[in-house]
Amino acid sequence: MSITDADPVPTTRRPAVLITGASRGIGRAIADELAADHHLILGGRDADMLADLASAFPSAEPFAADLTDVDALGRAVAALELPEGLAGVVHSAGILVSGTVEDLSAGEWTRSFAVNVVAVAELTRLLLPALRQARGTVVTINSGSGFRAGSGGGAYSASKFALRAFTDALRIEEHEHGVRVSSLHPGRVATDMQRELRSFERGEYREDDYMKPATVAVTVGLALRLPPDASIDTLSVRPR
């Protein structure tokens, strides 16, 4: 179901979903996908940009925070008003760290894990009470690199392998609380990150070779809208 074919839902009945990395790429596409029937909590760093973005949706608010700043993240979560809990959190923010084992520094490995794993775990931890209240769904935007690694992709793949381990553990831990956990693994998507990767690979960026962000967003909508008697645990989505 997309924003174009979903019937509008009154604001008072909209389930709330927090989307990190909501200002561009896959995160922005997810916001578009969910806007018709959800209250959007739009995550990112630029408060002014997020405020402008929120004004473009029927029901939305900004969530400005540096996900790697534990104290700031805690304050931002504490400021949220979620009287009915949180129907979902979509972890779309992430970074690409490319380079061989020989070339990468310890700091670059740490940066990859700080954003792609630790920030996800900490934000999820802070949101668990609200997710349990609403019997919500945690969705992580992982990658095909969460299943396999190649030359120059060790730091990124390792972080995505770790993210998959996180979701597997969380799924078991939260089952008794009614919280679903979905790990989505897109193949190559037409985003700025893909441009960055192709530059590292010294290859041409051809947008038509990749999935559209909106295609990935549809899978997120499916995970969140699935009836409560089922869960999408792991889903791989590849370009045709």
Whole-prediction pTM value? 0.90
Task: Please list the rounded mean pLDDT of every run of 10 residues in the chain (240 residues).
Answer: 43 85 95 98 97 97 97 97 97 94 97 98 98 98 94 95 98 98 90 67 77 95 97 94
pLDDT recorded at residue 118: 98
* pLDDT score of 189: 80
Mark 190-222 as b/e (b = at least 16 C-beta within 10 Å). bbebbeebbeeeeeeeeeeebbbbbbbbbbbbe
What per-residue confidence (pLDDT) applies to 13?
A: 75
For 167, counting Cβ atoms within 10 Å of its Cβ (0-12 exposed, 13-18 middle, 19+ buried), the class is: buried
Whole-number pLDDT of residue 221: 98
- Looking up tokens 């990395």 gives 21
Rounded Cα–Cα distance for residues 214 and 45 (Å)? 22
237: Cα separation from own chain's centroid: 15
